[in-house]
Structure 1
Amino acid sequence: MGIKIQFAVDMVCQSCVDDVSRVLAGVDGVERFDVSLADQQAVVEGTARPSAVLRAIKESGRAAVVRGAGSSASGNIGAAVCILEDKSGPQGLARFVQVSDDLCYVDISISGIADGTHAIGIHECGDLSSVPESCGARWGPDGCGGMGDIAVQSGRGELAFETDRFKVWEVIGRSIVIAAQPAALAGVIARSAGLFENDKQVCACSGHTLWEESRLVGEGHRL
């Protein structure tokens, strides 16, 4: 099942468009894309992981953020995001996209933690006051909130899968906990924008532009 991702991309000229287009053409799983200088965005369709596409765009030298996500076939069914943090700040991100009535696509990427295999679970509560205890028991309609294990090598780990065990709207407000050492990563799952639902260039909460926020988060700042 394909997904469609809308990226805001910092571009100033046709050369920027050409660079981003060239990068997207080389990403495995990207089937179609449209890059617009006027809208400062790239819309990408296919089976490529959103985090992999975002990383490729950034490696071309362009600042970029995910602005919206949906299903290639069904449009906006539901989407959510979870920023995973430990005491030092943001260390990862999980994205959820409902790609059909039955299937939810999950894309998780983490960095800066110990190499090894770490268990990931959805927990009942979105309370991060005392992780992991405050997050409650593992949650799941089948009695098991485990989402498998993520393997970390050279400080980076990635995991993507489709599941029919839960839907996006069932996990919003709950938490994700990754059992890493010396401290667990955790975050609250929040609703995120669907395709073309967010055209803001400046965040009303922080006053930062999209590009400033992307840089600050990348540097480990809390916004």
Structure 2
Amino acid sequence: MDTNRTAKLEFAVQMTCQSCVNAVKSVLEKEPGVRSVQIDLSQEQVLVETALPSLQVQSLIEATGRRAVLKGIGGAQPDLGAAVAMLSGVGLVRGVVRFLQLSPDRCLIDGTIDGLSPGDHGLHVHELGDLTQDCMSCGDHFNPFRKLHGAPDDSERVWDVIGRSLVVDSGKDDLGRGNHSLSSITGNSGERLACGIIARSAGLFQNPKQICACDGVTQWDERDRPIAGKGRKIPTDTPSAHL
């Protein structure tokens, strides 16, 4: 964990009293990697500056018995840009990956992907935000400078990814060091399992939504429901929540 690479995470947290605030603040402040915690009870808002992944911070908050929803992410420098990709495929692989521009030359990538087999998997930005044929229409790896495939700490960097796609593969990326003909092109990481379009996302304090106007799903229930389709909407005999 690099404690010098911190981000600010904005959570909506179900809190009703000062004891709720004390419980959340206590569990976060004693965790290594958390730099600061600010809590606004009236807004049910928790702002955490941390080097920890967002899912780990959310789990710490929810260990106190309160539900938490990540609403925004930001860096030390204001409004350098944030993006998110919701990954899905034909199987059980699902995930959310977030991008945050911490500085002009540093991007934080944070996310969780479920349903993968144990082991390493390639994760790449592809040139097209086209899911008309699932992951097969995402195009090749985004490689604007036509560099050989390399490792994250090599000199190549990826910019301007909003509107493109993110794809997770079935196997490990050999980082261009393998002997396969695809090593220097794709890292020879196997077939495409799941993908999603990289879209601009909310920064800090830019997401006031508490209830979805289209189907009445609240921010507390939304993460437990599909993004769309069967199982998304509240049954018709259940009134929509009012917040």
TM norm structure 1: 0.81
| Aligned equivalent of 2:11, options 7, 11, 19 | 7
- Cα shift at 1:106: 0.7
More helix by share: 1
**What is the number of equivalent residue pairs in this alignment?**
207
Counterpart of 1:153? none
User: Is this contact kept in 1: 2:28–2:61, CA < 8 A?
Assistant: yes
Higher relative contact order (CA closer than 8 Å, sequence separation 6+): 1
Tell me, what secondary structure is at the counterpart of 2:88? strand
Residue aligning to 2:121: 118
- Alignment equivalent of 1:166, drawn from 127, 134, 158: 158
- Indicate yes or no: 2:203 matched with 1:194: yes
Alignment of 1:81-160 (within 5 A): 81-88=84-91, 91-143=94-146
- Kindly state the Cα deviation for residue 131 of structure 1 after the two structures are TM-superposed: 3.1
From the superposition, tell whether residues 215 and 44 of structure 1 become closer, same or farther in structure 2 (CA, over 3 Å).
Answer: same
Q: Deviations over 1:110-156 (max 9, x none)?
A: 1222112111111111122323321111103343697969xxxxxxx
Q: 1:89 touches 1:221 (CA, 8 Å); kept in 2? A: no
Match of 1:56 in 2: 60
The letter for the 1-side match of 2:132 is S
Runs of 4+ in 1 over 4 A off after TM superposition: 144-149, 220-223
> Residues 145 and 30 of structure 1: is their aligned pair in 2 closer, same or farther, counting only changes over 3 Å?
farther
Q: In structure 2, do the counterparts of structure 1 residues 27 and 119 end up closer, same or farther at CA, with 3 Å as the change threshold?
A: same
Contact 1:175 1:188 in 2 (8 A): yes
Alignment RMSD (CA, Å) = 2.9
Overall identity of the aligned pairs, in %: 39
Alpha-carbon shift at residue 179 of structure 1 (Å): 0.8
Flag structure 2 segments of 5+ consecutive residues without an equivalent: 172-190, 234-243
Which residue type is aligned with residue 108 of structure 2?
A: Y
Where structure 1 has 5 or more consecutive residues not aligned to the other structure, the ranges are: 150-160
Determine which structure has more spread, i.e. the larger CA radius of gyration. Answer: 2
